Amino acid sequence: MAAAAVLAGEVCVKSTKLGLKSKRYTSFSGRMRVKAGLQSAQEINGSKNSLKTGSLTVEDGFLSLVSVGINPMLLETSRQIKEEPAYAFDGGELVHGGLIFRQSFSIRSYEVGADKTCSMVTVMNHLQETSLNHARVTGVLHDGFGVTQEMSKRGLVWVVAKLQVVVERYPVWEDVVEIDSWVSSAGKHGMRREWYFRDARTGRAIASASSTLVMMNRHTRRLSKMPEEVKAEITPFFFERESIMPDDDKKLSKIDEEESTNVLTGLKARWTDLDCNQHVNNVKYIHWLLNSVPASIMESRVLVGLVMEYRKECQKGEEVRSLTTIEGHVDADADDDVECSHLLRLESGPELVRGRTTWRSRPLANSANTGEFA
């Protein structure tokens, strides 16, 4: 198992002739301001906002972007949708009755690489920041990454069990991106956090992501059931809808080191890799995983899909080995997607993460600064 996790946010948009723009309140001195007449989360979760399976439902002026068989990134976003934020604070707001958190970020020069676009690691850092700010603005953040007051009493923390990311395009320097994030239940003792990532100026889809979170006792380092007291704290903020993306249930196979395309050794969990829950942050695992991808893939293609299963956490001082295997034959001149399998394991043997990545042809020369894929 591994990595810190957190609570989540939402998905609503408002369009103008110039593109997508969210109505926002101005907060004073960084403090939260409450709008009068706000409906409770329980009311918003009621029948008025039910989802019709396999179709879009527009009720009470809101558009549900998630339904079975529909990719929300392909939906038209330039619709007039009634939307009033529930709260606002510097850097983000709660919308959709307080069940979805929305925050905007400007892509900085130090967040883009040689191809002039930001990386998967940058995308994940923004998603994580949105999640933490969502937990903070709802008032459930107590101590650590997404730790509530009742979790803190019992020595519990969230950890990521599974992560899925699909990228339509990568932002470039000075782009302004807008992220919606929300949480829902995942079985009896888990939680699912999801994100929808778009261009704030145009409303065009950038990425979507989904993660499954479970609880771990920070003292014993063992998984734990979710206490009823913790459920009472977080369930009022659950946005119970079908997942924004279908679950990728394709088995992640174990890599045979002898047959691996690339093996990277010498990775070590250092003090600077730890988060405030005292374990290696889940974004660091992505960094380690991508470090063993062959240069030929990195230079000719773009990462458009990522699936990771976290099996064990990594402690400070432990040494890690990153393995990558390219699945099938790769034709450098072909436009077909390339799939890679990945394994992170401790030098002492135990597996940390299994993963799979999908790579697409790099942007055409005449669109190198747009992030568009060929």
Catalytic residue among 277, 281, 340, 342: 277
Q: What is the DSSP string of 83-139?
A: ---SEEETTEEEEGGGTEEEEEEEPPGGGB-TTSBB-HHHHHHHHHHHHHHHHHHHT
Q: What is the DSSP string of 288-320?
A: HHHHTS-HHHHHHEEEEEEEEEE-S---TT-EE
Overall pTM surpassing 0.75 (yes/no) = no
d(CA 104, CA 200): 7
Which of 353, 277, 282 is closest to 311 using CA atoms?
A: 353
Give catalytic status of residue 314 as yes or no. Answer: yes
The single-letter code of the amino acid at 19 is: G
What pLDDT digit, counting tens, does each position of 341-355 carry? 999 999 999 999 999
Catalytic residue among 12, 118, 314, 340: 314
- The mean pLDDT value for 260-280 works out to 88
Asked whether the beta carbons of 262 and 255 are under 8 A apart, the reply is no
Which residue, chain included where needed, has tokens 């809808």? 241
Burial class (CB in 10 A: 0-12, 13-18, 19+), 236: middle
d(CA 179, CA 9): 9
Place 138 in a pLDDT band, splitting at 50, 70 and 90: confident
Catalytic residue among 279, 282, 340, 342: 279
* pLDDT for position 7: 34
- Say if residue 225's pLDDT is above 90: yes
Name the residue with higher pLDDT: 31 or 299: 299
Give catalytic status of residue 342 as yes or no. Answer: no
Q: How does DSSP classify residue 155? A: T
Q: What is the DSSP string of 189-247?
A: TEEEEEEEEEETTT--EEEEEEEEEEEEETTT--EE---HHHHHHHGGGB-----SS--
* pLDDT for position 253: 81
What pLDDT digit, counting tens, does each position of 87-117 carry? 444 568 999 889 999 999 999 999 998 888 9
What pLDDT digit, counting tens, does each position of 311-337 carry? 998 989 999 999 999 987 776 666 789
